[in-house]
Amino acid sequence: MKQVNLILCALALMVGVHLPGCAVSEPIAEAETMAAESIASLPFEKRVCRLGFECLRPTRYDGLQNKHRPIQSMYAMEPEEVADIAAEIGADLWVIGSQNRGVWFASEMVKRDPHVNPEHVQRMVDRAHEHGIWALATSHLSDVDNQDLKGQMDKWKVHSIDDGRNISLSPKYQSFASEGFIDWTGRHWIEHIEMVGFDGIWIDGTPFGPRNAWPWPAGGVGPEAAVRYKQDTGNDLPAKVDWDDPNFKRWVDWRYDVTIDCWDKITAIAAQANPDVVPIMNYYTRPSGLFWNVAHPMRKIHDSQWVASLEMEGSMLDKVGRALSPRTEIWFWALEPQVKEIAHGFLPNFDPDPQIAKGLRALAHGLVPHASGQHVDIHLWKDSFKKMFDQFKLRRNYFQGETVKYAAMVVSQQTRDFRQENDTIWHVAEGVTGMHNVSHLLLDVIFDDSLNVEDLSQYKVVILDNVACLSKAQCDAIRQYVQDGGTIIAMMETSLYDEWGNKRDNFELVDLFGVDYKSTEDAVVRVLVPHNDELKEQFGYLITFMGRGTRVGLRDGTDAKLLMARSPLPSVNMLNLKVDPFDSDEPDIVRRRVGKGTVIYSASDLGDGYQRHKRRRVADLVTTLERDAAQPLIEFDAPARSVECRALWKDDNTIIVHIVNVTAMYAKHMAPVADIGITLNGRDIKRATSPITSRRFKVTDNAINVPSVGYGEVVVLDLR
């Protein structure tokens, strides 16, 4: 009988239901969830069940024949039937689509697709609204299908800067610097609102330049851009990509402002028809060959009415999205690995567990997931989506608020652009994120624009992993932050270059680090030898990993304490500890006390070192140094790779903790996890409850134990 009860408990956890007797913790007498809100009244920010699929196209891709083939649209149903299924699934926002080879309504500005009945679009939108579902169109920003760019519109075309390739001038792509293009696009968006009633538009095709070559050209040197650049900077446009030309670097930076200005202006025009319209912009601040060329800035965009959408979900990317804006959505394909012999896009009745984990992790970061797919008949995947949305809806009232702050990792646009780090910054950021995830320490991402005393002071620890390009003002802010009691962990070339990528003779922050720069080296075997008693006790003889780094020397008269020395050994393969010398006095990691704060400098790029082979000892080294310098407010005792933990402030006396079970990310199926410990330091827990599983947890020594976690758990900590 006991075995049967355990099976029932596990099944209940999978669907987020509480069964009496399943938990060691006390059940809550009454569920403390907020009053139910009707879907129709939900603001955009709380629409957590976002669905993307287009069923009006009269073709479907055949993976075996590698071409699109004709098919009856809408799965041979009426528009109302499709919308009813979207409502049955639980969608509260649906990207329906509005164009393919032309638009799907009677536009007066763009040619209509003759293969799609505009009445079907209207009926689908109207029925979605009856269910309280927001209906969004789709469009491309700079390559609208069948847009006629002859005559006056011809001058809007974007001209690509010379990058050594022969990039043709295409009539499909327009310049963000063109006021004519901005006005035209705003009016075209109004058509979507007034003619069909769309609540917003999901916008693809958003880079600053064209997409007619790979890597995408940078664009932005046409006649209208020349006028705008001269007006804004007093300079002529640069003639070619030249990273030694200060004017070219200025132009690279200028494009970010032009992008945001363009999008803000287009949105303001569209808002004349609907003040609440929400354009969602495909935002390319992510890995995979999308760098400075797309001109999507890494900065806070909290004040814009449009919303950034980051394609791909992941713990690091969720943190990047949160740094952009709490309104950022995380877009991902909700499907299993494709098997083209079975179907393109969704597999029939796909396992929703990995997609549930993705969505819950996004929500744990305070962001909304957006799950999309395509092609296979809706009847073959609707049940999988419903299981996903059933989990997301449970957290609708528990994912907003300021993050509980402990450590911040700087992801630097300056360094990416002007040190030409490109995808390396994402590799390193993944490493730093991974180290904090396995150690369950809270980590946020911040950008260059947060390197000021006010923003830095929110964190106990700031990690500068090879943030090579820093201005004098940013360095002064870092100095003040440390003087006031903050901790920095700086690595490799941090502050060796100014904000424009000009190399200095030594670190600008040499006065904090206590070491002088000698040289930079690519990834090699790095053998680090502990030099203080605590690290010797924890790590033994040495720590080894592959990674890049610098070579440095202790400054004359420095008070820096040597924590880890760099061994001269190129490998430990033939090392015999009894007879072979392996220690040295070459510094790799040093620590100084400065003012009220702490400075830790590592010549090794520890983010790179961890990400290459994910050695737990590297993560333990970094997080041990963090904890020694500054105690976290909240700590977790949990399996290293089974769960990820985040925490948000509901108000000054309430913390909402998210425990996300990520086992399905690796095993493809969710496996319940047991005994997650949560401890608070510096604040007293008055009560701990779960609005998801209706449990109350016993508080002992200012700590609680969550005895079991299915897809995920939400714990509300009421503080004294």
Residue 1 — pLDDT band, cuts 50, 70, 90?
very low
Q: Residue 73 and residue 86: Cα distance in Å, rounded? A: 16
The pLDDT value recorded for residue 111 is 85
pLDDT in tens, 587-635: 999 999 999 999 999 999 999 999 999 999 999 999 999 999 999 999 9
* DSSP code for 555: P
Residue 376 — pLDDT band, cuts 50, 70, 90?
confident
Whether the per-residue pLDDT at 476 is higher than 60: the answer is yes
Q: Count up the domains in the chain and report the number.
A: 3
Residue 29 — pLDDT band, cuts 50, 70, 90?
very low
The pLDDT value recorded for residue 145 is 59
The mean of the pLDDT values for the chain is 91
3-state secondary structure of 481: helix
Q: What is the CATH number of the domain that holds 499?
A: 3.40.50.880
Specify whether 178 is located in the same domain as 134: yes
The pLDDT value recorded for residue 81 is 97
Specify whether 235 is located in the same domain as 333: yes
Torsion angle in degrees (nearest 10) through CA of 245, 247, 251, 254: 130
* Domain membership of residue 551 as a residue range: 405-632
Whether the per-residue pLDDT at 220 is higher than 90: the answer is no
> Among 367, 400, 433, which residue terminates a domain?
400
Ranking 13-27, 264-278, 579-593 by mean pLDDT, the lowest is 13-27
Specify whether 75 is located in the same domain as 122: yes
Q: Residue 387 and residue 205: Cα distance in Å, rounded? A: 31
Question: Exposed, middle or buried by CB within 10 Å (0-12, 13-18, 19+), for 274?
Answer: middle
- What does the buried/exposed string (b/e) look like for 102-118 if buried means 16 or more CB atoms within 10 Å of the residue's CB? bbbbebeebebbeebbb
The pLDDT > 90 percentage for the chain reads: 77
Specify whether 164 is located in the same domain as 56: yes
427: left (phi over 0), alpha (psi -120 to 50) or beta: alpha
Specify whether 578 is located in the same domain as 507: yes
- Examine residue 378 and state whether it is found in any structural domain, yes or no: yes
Mean pLDDT confidence for 354-380: 92
Task: Kindly report the backbone phi and psi dihedral angles of residue 554, in degrees, each rounded to the nearest multiple of 5, phi listed first.
Answer: -65, 140
Specify whether 435 is located in the same domain as 582: yes
Residue 131 — pLDDT band, cuts 50, 70, 90?
very high
Specify whether 280 is located in the same domain as 325: yes
Q: Report pTM.
A: 0.93
Specify whether 412 is located in the same domain as 466: yes
- Examine residue 24 and state whether it is found in any structural domain, yes or no: no
pLDDT in tens, 511-535: 999 999 999 999 999 999 999 999 9
pLDDT in tens, 280-309: 999 999 887 788 999 999 999 989 999 999
pLDDT in tens, 623-674: 999 999 999 999 999 998 899 999 999 999 999 999 999 999 988 899 999 9
Which residue is associated with the tokens 């997409």?
211
